[in-house]
Structure 1
Amino acid sequence: MKAAIIGGTGYGAIELIRLIQKHPYLEVGSVISNSQAGSNFSESYPHLSEIIEQPLEKFDVQNIAKENEIVFLATPSGVSSNLVPQLKETGIKCIDLSGDFRLRSPEVYETWYKHSPAPENYLNEAVYGLSEIYGENIKNANLISNPGCYPTASTLGLIPILKSNLADSDSIIIDAKSGVSGAGRGLSLTSHYAEINENLKAYKLGAHQHIPEIEQVLTDESGQPITISFATHLVPMTRGIMCSIYLKLKEKVTTEDVHQIYDEFYKNKPFVRVRPVGKVPATKEVWGSNYCDIGLHVDPRTNRLTIISVIDNLVKGAAGQAIQNANIMNGWDERAGLQDIPMYP
Structure 2
Amino acid sequence: MALKVIKVAIVGVTGYSGLELLRLLKNHRYVEIVSIHNTANHSQMIAEAYPHLKGMYKITTTPFDPLHIMQEADIVFFATSSGVSKDLVAPFIAAHFPVIDLSGDFRLLAEDYASWYHKAPAPQTLIDQTTYSLADFYSASTTNYIANPGCYATATLLALAPLAQHHLLDKHNIIIDAKSGLSGAGKSLTTASHFINANENVTMYKVNQHQHIPEITRQLQKWQPNIEHIQFNTSLIPINRGIFISAYVKLNEDTSLDVLHQLYTSTYYQKPFIRVMPEGTLPNIKQVVGTNFADIGLAYNQDTKYLTIVSVIDNMIKGAAGQAIQNMNHLFGFDETMGLELIAQYA
TM-score bracket, normalised by the shorter chain, equals over 0.9
Partner deviation per Cα, 1:120-143 (whole Å, 9 max, x = no partner)? 12211111110122x2235x4300
**Residue 207 of structure 1 pairs with residue 209 of structure 2:** yes
Query: What residue is the counterpart of 2:133 in the other structure?
Result: 129
| Match for residue 60 of structure 2 among 46, 55, 59 | 55
Q: Secondary structure at the match of 1:232?
A: strand
* 1:7 paired to 2:12: yes
Runs of 4+ in 1 over 4 A off after TM superposition: none
Alignment of 1:317 with 2:319, yes or no, is: yes
Matching residue's letter, 1:152: T
- Please state whether the residue corresponding to 1:14 is helix, strand or coil: helix
C-alpha distance in structure 2 between counterparts of 1:34 and 1:306, whole Å:
42
Q: Residue 255 of structure 2 corresponds to which residue in structure 1?
A: 253
> Which moved further from structure 2: 20-29 or 227-236?
20-29
> Which has the higher mean CA deviation after the structures are superposed, 233-242 or 187-196?
187-196
Q: Following superposition of structure 1 onto structure 2, how do residues 18-33 of structure 1 map, counting pairs within 5 Å? A: 18-33=23-38
Query: What amino acid is the match of 2:124?
Result: E
Once residues 250 and 32 of structure 1 are traced to their aligned partners in structure 2, the CA distance between those partners, rounded to angstroms, is: 49
Letter in 1 for 2:43: G
Q: Which amino acid aligns with 1:314?
A: M
Correspondence list, 1:4-153, <5 A: 4-35=9-40, 37-103=42-108, 105-133=109-137, 135-138=138-141, 140-153=142-155
Q: CA RMSD in A?
A: 1.2
Aligned mates of 2:265, 2:162 — CA distance in 1:
9
Matched, 1:156 2:154: no
Contact 1:150–1:176 (CA under 8 A) maintained in structure 2: yes
- Which residue does the alignment assign to 2:298? 296
SS in 1 for 2:259: helix
Letter aligned with residue 301 of structure 1: D
Amino acid at match of 1:4: A
Query: Which string of whole-angstrom CA distances, capped at 9 and with x for unpartnered residues, describes residues 193-230 of structure 1?
Result: 11100000000001111100000000111122331000
Partner residue, 1:222: 224
Looking at structure 1, the residues matched to 71 and 115 of structure 2 have their Cα atoms a distance apart, in angstroms, of: 37
Q: Report what 1:342 is aligned to.
A: 344
Hey, what's the Cα distance between the residues in 1 that align with 2:126 and 2:191? 35
- Partner Cα separation in structure 1 for residue 63 and residue 221 of structure 2: 40
CA displacement, residues 77-132 of structure 1 (integer Å, 9 cap, x when unaligned): 111001111222333210000000001x2111101011111121221111111012
- Contact residue 159 and residue 222 of structure 1 kept, 8 A: no
Once residues 311 and 23 of structure 2 are traced to their aligned partners in structure 1, the CA distance between those partners, rounded to angstroms, is: 24
CA contact 1:162–1:169 (8 Å) conserved in 2: no
Gaps of 5+ in 1: none
Q: Is the 8 A contact 2:167 2:223 kept in 1?
A: no
Amino acid at match of 1:3: V
Structure 2: tracts of 5 or more residues without a match: 1-5
Shift of 1:164: 2.5
Tell me how far 1:36 sits from its aligned partner.
Answer: 5.9
Which position in structure 2 is the counterpart of 1:280?
282
**Contact map agreement 1:34 1:57 (CA 8 A) in 2:** no
Q: CA deviation at 1:297?
A: 0.9
Conserved? CA contact 2:152–2:178, under 8 Å = yes
Q: What corresponds to 2:182 in structure 1?
A: 180
Aligned partners of 1:95 and 1:144 also within 8 Å: yes
Any idea what SS the aligned residue of 2:139 has? helix
Contact 2:102–2:147 under 8 Å retained in 1: yes
Q: Distance in 2 between matches of 1:291 and 1:263?
A: 15
Across the two proteins, how many residue pairs are aligned to each other?
Answer: 342
Alignment-mate amino acid for residue 321 of structure 1: Q
